[in-house]
Structure 1
Amino acid sequence: MAKILVIEDELSIRENILELLDMREFDVIGAENGSVGLKMAMEQSPDLIICDVTMPEMDGYSVLKALRENPSTANIPFIFLTARADRLDMRAGMELGADDYLVKPCLPAELLKAITIRLEKQQRQQQYYLNNIKQPKVIAEPIDCDPLTELPTRVSLENLFQRFIQKVYGTYSPVFLPPNSSQKVPIFCLGLERFNRINDSLGYEMGDFLLKSFALRLSESVGDSGIVARLNGDQFAVILSPVKNKETAAQKAQIIQNHLSLPFQVHNTQVFITASIGIAFYPDNGQDIDKLLQLAKKAMNYARRQGGNRCEIYSPTFASDTDDWLALETDLRYAIDREELRLHYQPQVSLQTGQIVGCEALLRWYHPERGLISPAKFIPIAEQTGIIEVIGEWVLKTACRQLKQWHENNFKFLRVGVNLSGRQFTQPNLCERIAAILEESGIHPKYLDLELTESSLVQNAELATRRLQAIKSIGVKISIDDFGTGYSSLSYLQKFPFDILKIDQCFINNISDNPKNTAITTALILMAHQMNLKVIAEGVETPGQLDFLCRHNCDEMQGYLFGKPVSASEFQQLLSANKCLQLP
């Protein structure tokens, strides 16, 4: 597995490249500037380096010059990936010894092809050197223990795996397995979700402390009957005792995930970490640990593409799914320019008057060949690749401009709710961007509701509170969306400065027949009102649900009982016709 170092000062671009290469089974590490990148190259000897040119502290040219002057790093393949497209810039890079020079924006296929060519060339040169030059035989001692987490490393995992299999079966070869060989050994590849953000928010020292705590808790979850190893920065391998069926392994993975999802205490801050797990099985999916980890990693990447914080068992179909994912990612990057994205608006209705008082803006993608693509399919792609930041800003601008038109058409009371992704929420200049969009559109901030989910807030509650207060200082309302479906804690309602609580439709469904849903929804409405929060019920579809919400003084509703999400022109028709909800 080739190790690739990505040196890029823009966080979103760096994460995009790291995730792309990680999906292609490369061992990837990232550096946020030239000086950090140079240090990592000296310490870790990557097989290839991708580097920006314009960076703080030390530019890409200086990094390359320093690497070429050092005998231990002089021959590492080096690719510039930069927005500087002038021929003089390219010439300067190639004269310093760069192997390739790519210009942003660069398609994933173009970058992957350049990497493949350079690695193959390097491999041929090394093979020629080994075949034609006699060298003294050097036996490298394997690194048995990761210095940070004190777990076994990837180097020592093969020996540990062989000894583990011999202990379980009495033999390493599956050809000679005893009659109880129907039992399978689960191999987990476990990856933390967006750990780079924690390093960027809390610093690398805190990030290292958190990794040590995570490794300790993971080892406790697995216990003495299994093996835990650290593969690279934020990925771990787990080998468990044999199970009779795959469902048992998935249940064990869920138990581990539940244990890991509890908050970590980093000094005075509570931090939440989520992880995705991919599972392969010995001997069904392979006999050597390299193959098994490769397949488990494909399953883990598939779990991440489904939204993360879940477990998936390897299936051969994941290979084609990866190709489809990359094709969709490429198309999504051009979707705004090609005007393929649309906003639909779902009415929000007052349960005191029955009148439309607002709407939620919902994103739709009309692909020219695939037709309408479900948000459940393309939003995770946008989230993981960072495209969501560009799309999210487009959604906010488009919704505010549309709202301004409705206000000018004499519907001045109308509000609009816009979903804010987790990645958008962590942008350092978020408040400035929101204020600029409001000023540009001419919308008063009180008519904009920004909707956030719990998962985007709980990783660092203290930092999230400061950001929410900064947004509220502009005059924008903050809504907690899908409350009750994630990490729900009533303390969050006290800690975070919300204005609106949206009850998820999973509690509204069967509200009259399910005593638990009845109790939870009743308590949420009462508690929210005591905290001066407005309550909006989502997914209202039946008169019985409406009757319950009215009797318990819910403020507003949205759902198919009144209207589905519609285009801006269709929503205008609803307003013009003064469509009202018939209240019980």
Structure 2
Amino acid sequence: MRRRARRMPSAVRLSVLTALLAVFMAWLALGHGALLPWDPRWYLTAHTAMEVFSVVVAMLVFSTGWHGIGREMPIRVALLSPTALVVGLLDFGHLMSVQGMPGVAGPGSVGRGIEFWLLARTVSACALLIAAFAPRERVVGRRVRGWALAAALGIAALGFWVAVDNPLALPPTFVPGQGLTPFKIDVEVVLIALNAVAALFLLRRALLTRLRTDRYLAATAAVMALGGVSFTLYARPDDVMNMAGHVYKVIAYLCLHRAIWVAAVQAPYLRLQRSERSLAESEASFRSLMECAPDAILLVGAEGRITMMNARAENLFGVAREAAAGLPLDILVPAAAGDAEVDCRSRAGAAFPAEVRRAGMPSGQQVAIVRDVSERRRLERALVEQLTHDALTGLPNRNRILETLDEAIAGARQDGRILAVLVFDLHEFRKINSGYGYGGGDDVLRECVVRLSGLLAGGDMLARQGGNEFIVVQKQSGPEAAAALAGRLLDAMREPFPIGGQHVFLAASVGIALLPDGGCGAHELLQMAQVAMAAARADGPARHCFHTDAMAQAIRERVDLEALLRHAIERNQFALQYQPRVDLASGAVLGVEALVRWRHPVLGLVAPARFIPLAEETGLIDDLDMWVLDEACARAAAWRAQGLPPLQVSVNLSARQFQQAGLAQRVRAALERSNLPPACLEIEITESTVMRDTGEATSVLRSLKALGVALSIDDFGTGYSSLSYLKRFPIDVLKIDRSFVSDVTADPNDAAIARAIIALAHTLNLEAVAEGVETAEQVAFLRENGCDEIQGYYFSPPVWPEQIEQMLTERTLDLPVST
């Protein structure tokens, strides 16, 4: 098969044409026109033929542009098409007015023919220049086109009037025997300039837009400019230069016709073709998307019958699309207003829930999109089950029991019954998970459910709150009935739980809340039972406890106190008191123990027993410890700077602080901030803290000892100590707990323990310090048994720093002499 010859691009063709015409015009301008085969006798015939052709082309330009495709017209077409009509009419006047023609309102003459000629060229040059700057994308409607046609006819009529009556008294344009007048030549030069400028701007636009319309318009203006050169050079109307200019005019008109045809006919037709291809592609894409869609899609005609469906609809409804065509939509999809969830039915009769969406189409058809939501409904039911029931035991969870409890409370109020909520908590359940794994813990929980369920009466409810806690709702209750049920629940836990061939024993606590006379909501009643359970747990294992108002008050006070405690440091509400430690031999104050106090602006001086345990539970003890350490070191350094007698300040550290990494670095930082010598600081740690992990405790104590600070074991004798470990600790002081000192003169056992601790301290080269000394008899006993230092209310309660300064100036305290 022969390949079709590739056409030369329009830009190249027009460039070559314009270049050749420019070269030919230059050749003529150099005086070579006499070489052309031309006879002046041919003038009238040739001129008439070319002008007739020009008029026909101009009319074709007007007709093509005016009747182009589309309701709207590009603004340049709307400009140039009426201009072509004006030019064609004026060219006709020029044709009829030249010498040898009938003329217009009189015999033809060279001058009148030139006047029509100049008017036509002026209109065309101005129109091309305007077109060069007209916005390419702008379009106009029919109304503007009508005004443009009326304006064109008016301009044509004006031109005929000017050419025939010469109201402007234009100078002559041609003198027989002399040729063209300067006026005519000047006008031609101006027209050449206008066409050249238009050609340049149109060429620039063509290079930017790459549109053929701009290329042909640029060629039209350029050829018109080249042809204008010949109209400045001829001597007689019938010489070869004049005829060459007419040839250039015909070529320019053909380029203009091509430009208008491209803009008004070919471009819209190509756009139409592209639109049809795009429409076909869109339709193919729509069909592909429709077939790939996960939902069933049915197209329905205006009469409500199915015209098309996709593969998913075939599978969902069990009917082929050929068989479905023409069926009423209501057979497969029940009628509903707008989008809705309905129960659809397949052709086999199986019903399924579906989400249906309907929409209208511009063609008058409707589209129904059907999504099978059977799986979603199943997942929703499963999700509701997960949200309202415990996965392990199958019992209702906290959320579900709260909903049920609200209903039970409403029923109890209506019937005048007493309703009870019991919260059941297993003790030490963590050791089951640690010792036997989570599988063993799950077995225990399932066994608990079996035992507890067997103890409930009809209508009672059992739920799992989470972890090792269960909730029981007793609908027919009272104090005795609730206590009896709690007893049965606790007894059920006395039986061993078999786990992995072993028998494990567990205890439990039960909190009971009875529906108050004033009523309350489910959350409040469950919270009351929770508070009662915490109180029962605090009393010991296998206990039950009823909720009381005092419990709730205590909880609220604790919560309020915690909230206040969290802001106490930043609001500078803490202060330190100091209790002296006195040398038994000399009576001198050798040191002080820093004791933190909370001075609240509303609560007053809060006892340490109220806020220290709370700080330990909430983790606030970390910040409090470091504040006490910084404050005590700063105070001791200030006393040294004042020149007071040297003394050692003791600071208690919590077990939590002692177990955190980097304690030695934090103590060093506190010493550096205050410039206090390490020997002036003593760190006190309780006996139970150091014995919790002796290996780690030894490492921490050695790191502290390396700083040069003194170390003491506080409350010695109250916990479990191994002497083999005690001798390894780099400590300096053993402090005898006040529980042994208080009855040292009355209880032989306490006396023996105190003597043993003093002897043990001296044997290990440690100092023995007795706490809680309150009587002279205790002082005498401790001196007699060699105790090194004493501390207690007998000498001084904890006092403020100013009072310590006064004591230090007195240096010694009067101590009783042993008898």
Question: Do both proteins adopt the same fold according to a TM-score greater than 0.5, normalized to the shorter chain?
Answer: yes
Partner of 1:134: 377
Candidates 610, 615, 634, aligned match of 1:382: 615
| Correspondence for 1:323 | 556
SS at match of 1:563: coil
Counterpart code for 1:441: S
CA distance in 2, matches of 1:325, 1:453: 26
Letter in 1 for 2:595: L
Q: C-alpha root-mean-square deviation of aligned residues, in Å?
A: 4.4
Q: What is the CA distance between 1:400 and its match in structure 2? A: 0.6
CA pair 531-344 structure 1, distance change in 2 beyond 3 A: same
Match of 1:162 in 2: 453
Q: 1:280 aligns with which of 510, 513, 517?
A: 510
Displacement of 1:449 in angstroms is 0.8
Displacement of 1:469 after TM fit?
1.2
Normalising by structure 1, what TM-score? Answer: 0.55
SS at match of 2:592: strand
**CA separation of 1:327/1:293 partners in 2, compared to 1, >3 Å: closer, same or farther?**
closer
Give the SS at the match of 2:572: coil
The secondary structure found in structure 1 opposite 2:668 is: helix
- Separation in 2 of the partners of 1:176 and 1:313? 15
Q: Which amino acid aligns with 1:280?
A: V
Within 1, Cα distance between the matches of 2:738 and 2:566?
Answer: 31
Whether contact under 8 Å (1:188, 1:238) holds in the other structure is no
The corresponding residue for 2:573 is 340
CA contact (8 A) 1:187 1:296 kept: no
User: Which letter does structure 2 place at the counterpart of 1:576?
Assistant: T
CA separation of 1:239 and 1:312: change in aligned 2, threshold 3 A = closer
**1:222-301 residue pairs with structure 2 within 5 A?**
225=495, 238-239=506-507, 279-280=509-510, 298=531
What is residue 748 of structure 2 aligned with on the other side?
515
Deviation at residue 409 of structure 1 after TM alignment: 2.5
Match of 1:443 in 2: 676
After TM superposition, list the pairs within 5 Å mapping 1:340-359 onto structure 2.
Answer: 340-359=573-592
Structure 2 partner of 1:462? 695
Q: CA contact under 8 A between 1:354 and 1:583: conserved in structure 2?
A: no
Q: Of Structure 1 and Structure 2, which has the larger fraction of its residues in helix? A: 2
| Counterpart Cα distance in 2 of 1:471 and 1:310 | 44
In the superposition, relative to structure 1, how do residues 359 and 181 fare at CA in structure 2: closer, same or farther (>3 Å)?
Answer: closer
1:143 equivalent in alignment to 2:143: no
| Higher mean C-alpha deviation, range 329-338 or range 444-453 | 329-338
Partners of 2:686 and 2:713 within 8 A in 1 = yes
What is the distance in 1 between the residues matched to 2:656 and 2:632?
19
Q: Secondary structure of the residue that 1:517 maps to in structure 2? A: helix
Match of 2:809 in 1: 576
Is there any run of 5+ residues in structure 1 with no aligned partner, and where? 1-129, 167-171, 190-221, 230-235, 241-278
Q: Secondary structure in 2 aligned to 1:349?
A: strand
For 1:512, what is the secondary structure of its paired residue? coil
Q: Residue 684 of structure 2: SS of its match in structure 1? A: strand
The structural deviation recorded for 1:456 is: 2.4
Larger radius of gyration: 2
Letter of the 1:518 partner, please give it: A
- 1:480 is displaced (CA, Å) by 0.8
Q: Which amino acid aligns with 2:438?
A: L
Distance 1:576 1:396 in 2: 24
Q: Which amino acid aligns with 1:161?
A: L
Amino acid at match of 2:687: E
Change in Cα spacing, 1:424 to 1:353, as seen in structure 2 (3 Å) is same
Partner of 2:657: 424
Q: CA contact under 8 A between 1:185 and 1:283: conserved in structure 2?
A: no
**Is this contact kept in 1: 2:698–2:729, CA < 8 A?**
yes
**TM-score, normalisation: structure 2:** 0.40
| 1:4-19 alignment, distance < 5 Å | none
Structure 2: which amino acid aligns with 1:471? L
Q: Which residue of structure 1 aligns with residue 361 of structure 2?
A: none
Choose from 732, 737, 747 the match for 1:504: 737
Could you tell me which runs of 5 or more consecutive residues in structure 2 were left unpaired when the two chains were aligned. Answer: 1-372, 394-431, 458-471, 517-522
Q: Distance between the aligned counterparts of 1:450 and 1:366, measured in 2?
A: 24
Given candidates 713, 729, 737, the residue that maps to 1:480 is: 713
1:547 pairs, out of 775, 780, 783, with 780
Mapped partners of 2:656, 2:621: distance in 1: 7
Could you tell me how far apart the structure 2 residues matched to 1:428 and 1:386 are? 15
Instruction: Spell out, residue by residue over 1:202-249, the C-alpha distance to the aligned partner (whole angstroms, 9 max, x if none).
Output: xxxxxxxxxxxxxxxxxxxx98526699xxxxxx99556xxxxxxxxx
Deviation at 1:148, TM superposition (A): 2.8
Distance 1:330 1:350, change over 3 A: same
Tell me, what secondary structure is at the counterpart of 1:358?
strand
Q: Map 1:62-211 onto structure 2 (within 5 A).
A: 134-135=377-378, 138=382, 142-143=391-392, 147-148=437-438, 150-151=440-441, 152=443, 157-163=448-454, 185=486
Q: Tell me the CA shift for residue 451 of structure 1.
A: 0.7
| Structure with more contact order per residue of length (Cα contacts < 8 Å, sep ≥ 6) | 1
Change (3 A) 1:176 1:380: closer
Deviation at 1:579? 4.0
Residues 394/238 of structure 1: CA separation in 2 closer, same or farther (3 Å cut)? same
CA distance in 1, matches of 2:760, 2:659: 29
Seen in structure 2, the aligned counterparts of structure 1 residues 188 and 474 have a Cα distance that, compared at 3 Å, is: farther
Q: Conserved in 1, the CA contact under 8 Å of 2:581 and 2:790?
A: yes
Q: Deviations over 1:98-125 (max 9, x none)?
A: xxxxxxxxxxxxxxxxxxxxxxxxxxxx
CA distance in structure 1 between the aligned counterparts of 2:541 and 2:597, rounded to whole angstroms: 25
Q: Distance in 1 between matches of 2:784 and 2:671?
A: 37
* 1:355–1:581 CA contact under 8 A, matched in 2: no
Closer/same/farther in 2, CA of residues 310 and 338 from structure 1, 3 Å limit: farther
Match of 1:531 in 2: 764
Counterparts of 2:525 and 2:574, CA distance in 1? 40
Q: CA distance change for structure 1 residues 223 and 318 in 2, over 3 Å: closer, same or farther? A: closer
Q: Is the contact between residue 281 and residue 292 of structure 1 (CA under 8 Å) also seen in structure 2?
A: no
* Structure 1 contact 539–558 (Cα < 8 Å) conserved: yes
- Aligned mates of 1:515, 1:547 — CA distance in 2: 15
Aligned residue-pair number: 372
* Shift, 1:514, TM fit: 0.4
